[in-house]
């Protein structure tokens, strides 16, 4: 018996969040889908886009399905699944029940159980070895299983991550408190043994707890309003204000005012400035004074543009979505509901979406493509500061992302005029 977590075609709609990471590694309310799948206590296999094959193996410990395991009992899980306790419970029930069946959503298979002896729906699988391990054929086999009543929640668009994060933070924090052996430092404040809370902190746990994981250091004069989760080795700078649902990945440096946001590992927002209702990928650096807007002047619902398509979020508060390795200069201002591609560099006011690998200084009449080698050198310097070794696969990821995001730059009218 094994679990196969697969990316489907709709994963592309989650860019730039998924440009540099598998969909099962999206952080939301302090958990990833992979965290929940590991609780199923079964070997986990992964089917991801080709440019992530090596990273999947070295960073997440997953391997691809091989023909030797084809036909064995399998729990098929869409990698876009929201990392919620409700979804985990539904998957656990499918596993325990052990009967063939599938659950669909509007975009396709959400999850399926394939019993022993399942076959791909081809006339003669033995004549096509690739059919035994092709995710398209496996999904087709899953569709032949009986439909199961019920639904599972999947991410459809990047803003869904922020929306689900806000909804799931209270229950996910409670789960961590119950399972992780945190010490209660004071009412509603839970810390790992080597975490420290600075002097003169102002704490409000009326809406949720504060959780400080291993080796988290909170400076003096901070304001923490739960629910807040700080991942291991994170530094909260003095005078920081974290409130209304903030989840920080490991090894993050955070300062200024942060509200209702997800920040993935190794990102920096050390200085003053507001970040609200936003998602930040990994290895991002926000310059001093960088702020984003998360509310329209009209107080109306926010629409976000993805690849030229205008999508209603049904959210009154929605800030920005920023892909991995993006950077902002001092005093950058990001308008409401903007999407920033991977490895972009921002200056001045950001009034439109920014393609990946672009120097964006629209206020000064300048936009230019950033060569991948420039970002590889930048990556090496960033890694060195965090004592992380730059591997060949890290540099190759940058080249692959540059190639894969070329259509973003080609379709941008301002860039095409240069």
Which comes out higher in pLDDT, residue 175 or 98?
Answer: 175
Q: Among candidates 29, 55, 13, 27, which has minimal Cα distance to 267? A: 27
Calculate helix-pair angle for 372-385, 392-404, nearest 10 degrees: 140
> Could you give the count of Cα atoms lying within 13 Å of 343 in the half-sphere of its Cβ?
29
What's the Cα-to-Cα distance from 104 to each of 79, 134, 151, 268, 273, rounded to whole Å?
Answer: 13, 19, 7, 38, 42
**Confidence (pLDDT) at 189:** 97
Q: Do 103 and 148 meet the contact criterion of CB atoms below 8 Å apart?
A: yes
Residue intervals in the chain for CATH 3.90.550: 2-143
Residue 418 has pLDDT above 50, yes or no: no
CATH says 2-143 is which class? Answer: alpha beta
For residue 414, pLDDT beyond 80: no
Question: What would the CATH number be for the domain defined by 158-416?
Answer: 2.160.10.10
- Residue 204 tokens read as 């409000």
Residue 287 to residues 60, 232, 266, 267, 361, Cα–Cα distance (Å): 30, 23, 15, 12, 14
What's the CA gap between 39 and 29, in Å, rounded? 17
Contacts with 210 (C-beta within 8 Å, 6 or more apart), sequence order: 188, 189, 190, 203, 224, 226, 227, 228
| CATH code 2.160.10.10 region(s) in the chain | 158-416
For the cut 90, the answer to whether the pLDDT of residue 45 exceeds it is: yes
Check: pTM over 0.85? Answer yes or no: yes
Q: Please count the other Cβ atoms lying within 10 Å of the Cβ belonging to residue 140.
A: 15
Alpha carbons 124 and 347: distance in angstroms, whole number = 58
Tell whether the model's pLDDT for residue 331 goes beyond 50: yes
| Least confidently predicted of 129-133, 246-250, 317-321, 326-330 | 129-133
Under a CB-based contact definition with an 8 Å cutoff, are residues 155 and 164 in contact? Answer: yes
Residue 111 phi/psi, 5-degree rounding, is -160, 155
Mean pLDDT of the chain: 93
């Amino acid at each position: 018996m094994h679990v196969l977590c697969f990316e489907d075609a709709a994963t592309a709609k989650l860019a730039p969040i998924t440009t540099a990471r598998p969909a099962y590694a999206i952080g939301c309310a302090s958990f990833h889908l992979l965290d929940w799948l590991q609780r199923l206590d079964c070997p986990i296999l992964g089917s991801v886009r080709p440019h992530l094959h090596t990273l999947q193996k070295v960073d997440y410990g997953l391997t691809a399905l091989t023909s030797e395991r084809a036909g064995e009992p399998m729990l098929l899980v869409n990698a876009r699944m929201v990392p919620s306790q409700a979804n985990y419970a539904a998957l656990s029930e499918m596993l325990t029940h052990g009967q063939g069946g599938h659950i669909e959503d509007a975009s396709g298979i959400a999850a399926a159980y394939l019993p022993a002896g399942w076959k791909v729906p081809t006339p003669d699988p033995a004549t096509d070895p690739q059919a035994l391990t092709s995710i398209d054929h496996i999904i087709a086999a899953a569709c032949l299983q009986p439909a199961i009543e019920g639904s599972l929640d999947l991410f459809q668009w990047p803003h869904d991550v922020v929306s689900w994060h806000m909804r799931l933070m209270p229950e996910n924090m409670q789960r961590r408190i119950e399972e992780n052996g945190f010490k209660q430092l004071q009412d509603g404040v839970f810390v790992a043994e080597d975490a420290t809370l600075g002097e003169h902190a102002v704490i409000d746990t009326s809406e949720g707890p504060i959780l400080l994981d291993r080796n988290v250091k909170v400076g003096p004069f901070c304001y923490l309003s739960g629910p807040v989760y700080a991942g291991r080795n994170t530094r909260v700078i003095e005078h920081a204000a974290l409130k209304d649902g903030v989840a920080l990945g490991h090894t993050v440096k955070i300062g200024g005012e942060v509200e209702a946001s997800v920040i993935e590992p190794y990102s920096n927002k050390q200085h003053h400035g507001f970040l609200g209702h936003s998602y930040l990928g990994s290895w991002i650096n926000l310059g001093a004074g960088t702020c984003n807007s998360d509310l329209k002047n009209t107080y109306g619902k926010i629409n976000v543009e993805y690849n030229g398509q205008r999508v209603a979020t049904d959210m009154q508060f929605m800030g920005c979505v920023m892909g991995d390795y993006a950077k902002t200069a001092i005093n950058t201002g990001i308008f409401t509901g903007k999407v920033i591609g991977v490895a972009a560099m921002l200056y001045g006011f950001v009034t439109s979406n920014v393609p990946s690998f672009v120097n964006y200084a629209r206020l000064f009449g300048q936009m230019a493509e950033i060569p991948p080698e420039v970002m590889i050198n930048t990556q090496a310097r960033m890694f060195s500061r965090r004592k992380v070794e730059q591997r060949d696969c890290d540099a190759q990821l940058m080249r692959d992302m540059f190639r894969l995001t070329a259509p973003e730059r080609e379709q941008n009218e301002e860039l095409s005029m240069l």
